[in-house]
Structures are given as structure tokens and as C-alpha cells.
Amino acid sequence: MINPLHTASLFLVNTIFDLYLLILVVRIILVYAGLNYFDPITQFIVKCTDFLVKPLRRRLLPTIGGFELASIVWVIIIASVKFILISLLSIGIPNMVGILILAIADLFKLVLQTFFYAIILQAILSWFQPYSPLTRSLSQITAPVMRPFRRLIPLINGIDISPIPALIVLQLLSILLISPLMALGFAIAFG
């Protein structure tokens, strides 16, 4: 019989950690995209994450090639803690190599999901609020993914259909790369 308290504990650990990991991943994407620091979304993300990222960025891990290494390291650390807690609540002590693989897979999964939902939100907002500040921010966030598709796929009667193949490719990447990496991580961690 399934213990509701155990299920609730797993849900809370997963949800709380995933929400903060999402904020860190959005920070990574915002830094890479060069989003305006004074944008309200950017300000919120910075205020939620600076206490972790700033000390590590100053002392050890700078931003290289647009990638904020301190944020990436924190995502891997926090995702590792999440998987350790989940395994301790469920199975027992895991293999740390497997946990590291799961954390890296979780980072990639969150990046792909962030792009996926940002593209959907951007498309919906472009229909109803094409000139809102959020639409502009989402456009900058999704630009690294959308740029190649917009070059290949022209507008059709003024309609941009490039989000459709972009979403398909993001889902394919998730299926072909993230799922096997997660399976490998689970096999090593709990095998």
C-alpha cells in the first residue's frame, strides 16, 4: 500500500527543488541571451539567485562565452541534493556517479523545457499582446533556439510558423538525449 505521507514528502521535495532550479536555469538563459538587467523579470531572477551565484562567480567561476559557470555549478549541486533526498526517502543511499549524471540530465531537461514553454508563451502573447514587455523579453530568451528556424522557414502570409518545428526539435532532443541520460543515471545510482 502506498503511504500518502511518503508520496507527499516526495512531491514537496521535487516541487520545491524544481522551482528553484527553474529560476537558476532561467538565470543561465538570461545571462546567455544578454537580457536587460533592469527588466522586471531579470530583476526578480537576480534577487532570488544572487546570494548563491555572486560569491562563486567572483571568486572561482566567471562567465565564459556567455555561460555563467557559477549558476551551472549551482544547478548541478542543487539537482544532486534533490536526487539524493529523493533516493534517501525512497530507496536508500545512491551511487554518487549516478546522481551526478541525473543532475546533469536534469539541467539539460530544464533548459529544454524552459525554451519549450517560453516559445509557447511567446507565441500566445504575440496573438494577444504583441507589444508587451514580456513578449520582448521572451523573444530575447528564445532567440538562440528560434534564430536558425526563422532563417530556414519564411513567413507564410505574414504568419511565423517557425515555433512549430522548434517545439518538435526540442521534444525530439528531450526524447533522444535526456531520457537515455536519465535512464543511465538511474541505472548507475540505484543499479
Confidence of residue 16 (pLDDT cuts 50, 70, 90): very high
CA dihedral (100, 49, 144, 163) in degrees, to 10, reads: 90
As beta bridge partners, residue 64 has 67
Q: What is the rounded distance in angstroms from the CA atom of residue 12 to the CA atom of residue 7?
A: 9
Which of the residue ranges 37-46, 57-66, 77-86, 88-97 has the most confident prediction, judged by mean pLDDT?
77-86
Residue 90, pLDDT score: 82
More confident residue, 180 or 125: 180
- Host H or E run for residue 64: strand 63-64
Confidence of residue 1 (pLDDT cuts 50, 70, 90): low
Write the pLDDT tens digit of every residue in 58-75: 888 888 888 889 999 999
The amino acid present at 109, given as its one-letter code, is K
Question: Average model confidence (pLDDT) for the chain?
Answer: 88
**C-alpha pair distances (Å), 12 with each of 17, 79, 81, 91, 157:** 8, 14, 14, 17, 47
Residue 116, pLDDT score: 95
Determine what percent of the chain is predicted with pLDDT higher than 90: 46
- For residues 51-58, give the mean pLDDT: 87
Task: Decide if 68 contacts 27 (C-beta within 8 A).
Answer: yes
- For residues 133-162, give the mean pLDDT: 85
Residue 133, pLDDT score: 78
Task: Decide if 115 contacts 32 (C-beta within 8 A).
Answer: no
Determine what percent of the chain is predicted with pLDDT higher than 70: 99
Write the pLDDT tens digit of every residue in 167-188: 999 999 999 999 999 999 989 9
